[in-house]
Amino acid sequence: MPNDLAPGKQWSQTIRVTTESGESLIQSDYRAVGFEEITVPAGTFTTLKIEQNGYVTVFDQKIAMEGLVGWYVEGIGLVRFEVPGAPVSELTMYDLGD
C-alpha cells in the first residue's frame, strides 16, 4: 500500500507468480474510498475502506476480479475482506505484542 494513503487515493499493482505449473499474473486497481467504523469479532475499529478491481491470468485464461472490498486499520492491517459470492473474512483476534 502507498505510504501516503488517504481517501481518494488510487493506485495499481501487478504481481507475477511463477511456479513449475506456469506463470500467473494478478493486476489490480485500488481506490481508497473513505473512513468507516466497523465491528468485527476482534473489536470495533476506525478503518479505511479500499475497493479493488482487476483480473488474474492463469494458464492464459483471464478472469475478472470485480467488487472486492477491504477495510484496513493502521498498525493492524486488514480486518474485513469481501469478495462477491464468497464468505466474508473478518479478523477474530490480534496481538500487537508488548
Per-residue pLDDT tens over the stretch 36-58: 999 999 999 999 999 999 999 98
Q: Is 3 part of a structural domain of the chain?
A: no
8 Å CB contact between 4 and 21: no
Of 67, 3, 2, 8, the residue nearest 35 (C-alpha) = 8
Residue holding cell 506456469?
A: 22
Kindly report the CATH number assigned to the domain that includes residue 28. 2.40.360.20
pLDDT band, residue 9 (cuts 50/70/90) = very high
pLDDT at 10 over 70: yes
pLDDT band, residue 98 (cuts 50/70/90) = low
Q: Is 59 part of a structural domain of the chain?
A: yes
Instruction: Return the percentage of the chain with pLDDT > 90, whole number.
Output: 79
Q: Is 96 part of a structural domain of the chain?
A: no
Domain of 30, in residue numbers: 10-90
CA 1 from centroid of its chain's CA atoms = 10
Q: Is 70 part of a structural domain of the chain?
A: yes
**Calpha distance 63→27 (Å, rounded):** 10
**Distance set, CA 31 to CA 21, 36, 37, 98 (Å):** 32, 14, 18, 33
8 Å CB contact between 46 and 39: no
**Structural domain total, the chain:** 1
Q: Is 54 part of a structural domain of the chain?
A: yes
Strand bridging mode 22-40 / 61-73: unpaired
Q: Is 95 part of a structural domain of the chain?
A: no
